[in-house]
Amino acid sequence: MFLLRLAAKNLCRYTRRTIITAVAIAVGIAMYLAVDSMLLGAAAESERNLRWYETASLRIHTATWWQERLFFPLGGAIEEPEAILALLHDEGYHAVKRTRFGAELLLGYEEFGEDGYIPVLITAIDTNDDTVYRYGTALEEGRFFQPGEMDGIVLGSWLAEDIGATIGSSLTVSTRGKGGFFEAFDVQVVGLVNCPNPNVNRTLVMMDLAAADQYLGMEGAVTNIDILVPERQDIEAVQRALASKIGAIDPSVVLLTWKDLAQDYLAIASSKQGGSALILFLIFIIAAVGISNTMLMAMYERGTEIAMMRAMGMEENRLQASFLVEAGLIGALGSVIGIALGVLANLYLVEVGIDLSFMLRDLDMGFRIPSVMHGAWSLSSFVIAAIGGTALSMLSAIIPVRRALKSPITTALVRL
Amino acid sequence: MVRLEQVSRIYQNGQSVVKALDGVSLSVSGGEFLSIAGPSGSGKTTMLNLIGCLDTFDEGELYINGRPIGGMTNKERTAFRRNNLGFIFQSYNLIPVLTAFENVSFPLQLLKMDEQRVKETTLRILAEVGLAGLEHRRPAELSGGQQQRVAIARALVKEPKIVLADEPTANLDSKTGEEILALMQTMNEQRGTTFIFSTHDAMVMEHARRLVMLHDGTVVSDERRGS
């Protein structure tokens, strides 16, 4: 108790220095909380948008297709999707058939001012797609194609803008069918999609599944079946529960979670979390240097006082403890201020967010977030910041204190 | 109480070797009021540092209360100082953020005495040194003489057998210095505490009942007087 009182009184001794050091720690902590909040918010929103617009919760492919997925092999399609769909329906899950295939969109001189082509990945969807995905509310312009409409396609709005396509623009799709034959067919843009997932806006080309089946000679086969798992359910648990039942119907298929399908995104998110840890480390280094310097000055200025206390028989570990408590109190003060600032910053980030539309359009950051980046609350980050700020302050004081205690009492006292 | 047997303290600074104390032998009994005097560099402070267990010696042996100090570890010396010795410093060395009461009670806190006893003992000693009513003042709110009274109270509060003081009046005017010496003498007589203090002030030497003169690290005279 005495040590705590002494430490608290010493803090008031150099009020300005204490405040400056605490504020430096506070700013570091607030910055960490803000960056962490934005990354967490971006990760949560990205994961949601991945499931809502790209991968669904679970997806069924054949093992062959999954192994050769970089080539989108139509030969590795699911031949009997209806039996699996019936099972999923019986189990109470919404599921849809899709066929994804690689193609080239040929742009004609008359329509686009120059001849050219762009490689695309076309997703053929059936009319039930909205039970699993959320494109229904994302239509920016035009309409969706009708079931069986052979020449209607829907484009991501940014893709359309990039190639100069509008509603009514005519394009030619060049691809290869299931048997490897070449196929080309003319299509017309009937709708533009602008959803909160920038990757979709940048790359989406959709057409009707029945039309694709006919063009590609799929004969009812599809490349994947996508499943919606309600938010509250554990996707991995559902995967485990369904895998054996689906395997009994078609042993050639594999059931994958959205994490298996979005490994590229997860790798980016993980590296960004690593970046967050690096920011945290750098911020704490700055705080450590600040607190270390403060304690070093305190040791220097109070050298005689320390020697006097040692002369009177104060044990070195108690003396060290009193200075560590002092440093810890500065850290705690900094943490309290930092958390208060962090809460304010987080409130803004969660409620308002930061508008990144000026850069997200042209820069692919990997996150599947809309133009406004929102933060997210994380209690654990606040706890880490509070404990980290205080503990680090105490740790930073150890070296200066030990240095002071190494000096002979008689030297520090000069005279007894 | 304190016995130095052929104690030497050698300081080495590069090539130069200085014998601050050179084979000094001295015996101090309980209740003495002893002054160590001598010119600058004669070894007064070194001798006080050794008796105060703040420094180590190179030759000889030092006994305090019959205990040899030479073989003690740093930790043992710290504990020995805490339990047996009181210190009065020339510059008072009070902790500026603490009140007079808190400064005086500091040695009792180190002894982990219970709060009620700390309070009673501290208030009693503060009254004895003439600081009753000033308990809550910080050092900056006290005069030099009052600060040295706080320092004396701090040295005596744990009732040590020996109090060591280095030039205790050097920072005070002569009138206040007289008062401080008188206070130390009173404490010596009333409590039987042994006072060993260094000085080069003739007025202070006059108050001592025993005067040990040092020169170049050796004892050149050891004079006992009536008070």
Mean pLDDT of A340-354: 93
Contact criterion met (CB < 8 Å) for B89 and A416: yes
For chain A, give the percent of residues with pLDDT over 70.
Answer: 98
Instruction: Give the model confidence (pLDDT) of A2-28 as tens digits.
Output: 778 888 888 888 888 889 888 988 988
Instruction: Give the model confidence (pLDDT) of A378-390 as tens digits.
Output: 899 899 888 988 8
- Residues of B within 8 A of A12 (CB-CB) are 97
Q: What is the mean pLDDT of chain A?
A: 88
- Say if residues A123 and A209 touch (Cβ distance below 8 Å): no
Cβ neighbours of residue A278 closer than 8 Å, sequence gap 6 or more? none
- In terms of Cβ atoms closer than 10 Å to its own Cβ (0-12, 13-18, 19+), residue A109 is exposed
pTM for the predicted model, two decimal places: 0.73
Confidence at residue A1, expressed as pLDDT on a 0 to 100 scale: 75
- Residues of A within 8 A of B198 (CB-CB) are 416
Contact criterion met (CB < 8 Å) for A409 and B91: no
Is B90 near chain A, with CB under 8 Å? Answer: yes
Q: Which of A2, A316, A416 sits opposite B48 (nearest CB)?
A: A416
Our CA-based measurement puts residue A337 at a distance from the nearest CA of chain B, in whole angstroms, of: 25
- Say if residues A148 and A208 touch (Cβ distance below 8 Å): yes
Is A379 near chain B, with CB under 8 Å? Answer: no
Confidence of residue B171 (pLDDT cuts 50, 70, 90): confident
Mean pLDDT of B142-165: 93
Confidence at residue A415, expressed as pLDDT on a 0 to 100 scale: 42
Is B166 near chain A, with CB under 8 Å? Answer: yes
Classified as helix, coil or strand, B119 is: helix
Instruction: Give the model confidence (pLDDT) of A164-211 as tens digits.
Output: 999 999 999 999 999 899 999 999 999 999 998 888 999 999 999 999
Interface residue of A314, A406, A414, A416 to substitute, partner B, most B CBs within 10 Å: A416
Contact criterion met (CB < 8 Å) for B107 and A313: yes
Q: Which residue of chain A has the CA closest to B85?
A: A312
Residues 283-322 of chain A whose Cβ lies under 8 A from any Cβ of chain B: 304-305, 308-316, 318
Residue B126 reports pLDDT greater than 60: yes
- Residues of A within 8 A of B164 (CB-CB) are 416
- Residues of A within 8 A of B52 (CB-CB) are 311, 416
Max Cα distance, chain A (Å): 101
Tell me the domain boundaries of chain A: 2-50+265-413, 58-228
Give the Cβ contact number of residue A151 at 10 Å. Answer: 16
- Residues of B within 8 A of A312 (CB-CB) are 81-82, 87, 106-107, 110
Residue A355 reports pLDDT greater than 90: no
Is A415 near chain B, with CB under 8 Å? Answer: yes
Instruction: Give the model confidence (pLDDT) of A105-137 as tens digits.
Output: 999 888 888 889 999 999 999 877 788 898 888
- Residues of A within 8 A of B90 (CB-CB) are 415-416
- Residues of A within 8 A of B78 (CB-CB) are 310, 313-316
Number of CB pairs < 8 Å for A and B?
74
For chain A, give the percent of residues with pLDDT over 90.
Answer: 47
Confidence at residue A273, expressed as pLDDT on a 0 to 100 scale: 73
Residue A78 reports pLDDT greater than 90: yes
Residue B134 reports pLDDT greater than 90: yes
Contact criterion met (CB < 8 Å) for A312 and B106: yes
